[in-house]
Amino acid sequence: MRFRTACSLLGCLLGAALIISLLGGFSASPGPEPGLIHTEKHDLRSVPLARGLEHPWGMAFLPEGGILISERPGRLRIFQNNQLSQPIAGLPEIARQGQGGLLDVALHPQFSSNRLVYFSFAEPGSGGFGTAVGRARLDGQQLNDLEIIFRMEPKSTTGRHFGSRLVFDQQGYLYITLGDRGDQQRAQQPDDHAGSVIRLHADGRIPADNPFVDRPGWKGEKYDLGHRNMQGAALHPQTGELWTHEHGPQGGDEINIIRPGSNYGWPVITYGVNYGIGTKIGEGTHKPGLVQPIHYWVPSIAPSGMTFYQGDKFPHWQGNLLVGALKDQLLVRLELDGDKVVAEERFLQNKLGRIRDVREGPDGYIYLLTDEADGGLYRLEPAS
């Protein structure tokens, strides 16, 4: 009796499965790919490459393969052959102070022959801390012939708004983006590096055609003024102009095209407001003689890292601007028409972590760093 009952039950189950299949409710086709990310123009997946990075901040691709990665507590490491190296020796003293520490890293345009690595960091000294830039020769796991080619003046004791990104242009000039160090008025001071883009020769000399070089009372290294805290910078692939983005206060994150001698307005004009209380900062959003951003975000996305995509792995994104965001842990894709943003898409929200840096690799894939105590290096690949 029990045997017949079991067989009847099995027959019922098989019959039900057959009916569901005939009705189209049951399919043998594979389900969605694990980790698949849908976007408007490409489906993609994120591939974790490395974990265990402590607040990674910047990266640079070595011509022989491998990626240099900076960690804010003061370590520089190489990711190669699917593993992270031990910390590279030879860095200077680095202050881990609030948002400061070891920040961006970049290679000299002739790195293949001279092996020069550049890095920005919070430097301790008289008066507190300030963003500095060093360069040294990479020899295996050692940095040699260290030079400090730039020091922000004056230093201060706050732990906020160090910047900073490092970008070489097509003529070999080095651009350094700086924050206002948490003191708004410094961004408008001619004799203060804070809140400015700095332009130097690769050895730290001041170019003779910098806009303020012969103006009494001005720092000759300054290329512009009026920024709050720039943590993204990239060269436009067609025009060669430097584009940057910066954190606003509560609202008012901006993208700007950097032009010599220009004043970008902070804190006189801004689309942001004071934290918590929402009161106005400065004189409003516009003022004659002060440059408007080409794009801004209200509410803030807390942007960090930026790249123009030029590769062939995501052909429908060519010429788009990709921006990492700490808030909501997302990636922003901006479509451009000249110097105008005509469309915006957001994806990866809360999937990987706080995106600190975004770069296109020499292989055409997109690489991301997440700013966490257990941060990671990820590669975005087409899903197909």
> What digits encode the pLDDT tens for the residues 96-116?
999 999 999 999 999 999 999
Q: Is residue 1 situated within a structural domain?
A: no
368 contacts 380 by C-beta, under 8 angstroms: yes
In a domain, 15, yes or no: no
What is the pTM for the complete model shown?
Answer: 0.91
pLDDT at residue 12 greater than cutoff 70:
no
Query: What are the pLDDT digits (tens) for 20-64?
Result: 333 333 233 333 445 799 999 999 999 999 999 999 999 999 999
The number of angstroms, rounded, from the C-alpha of 239 to the middle of its chain's C-alpha atoms is 21
Q: In the 8-state DSSP scheme, what is residue 359?
A: E
Flag whether 4 is in a domain. no
Counted domains in the chain = 1
pLDDT in tens, 146-192: 999 999 999 999 999 999 999 999 999 999 999 999 999 999 999 99
Q: Residue 144: phi, psi to the nearest 5?
A: -120, 165
- Please report which helix (H) or strand (E) contains residue 146, including its range: strand 142-151
CATH number for the domain including 285?
2.120.10.30
Cβ 21 vs Cβ 14: under 8 Å: no
Task: Enumerate the active-site residues.
Answer: 161
Give residue 313's domain range: 34-382
Q: 312 lies in a domain?
A: yes
| 110 belongs to a structural domain | yes
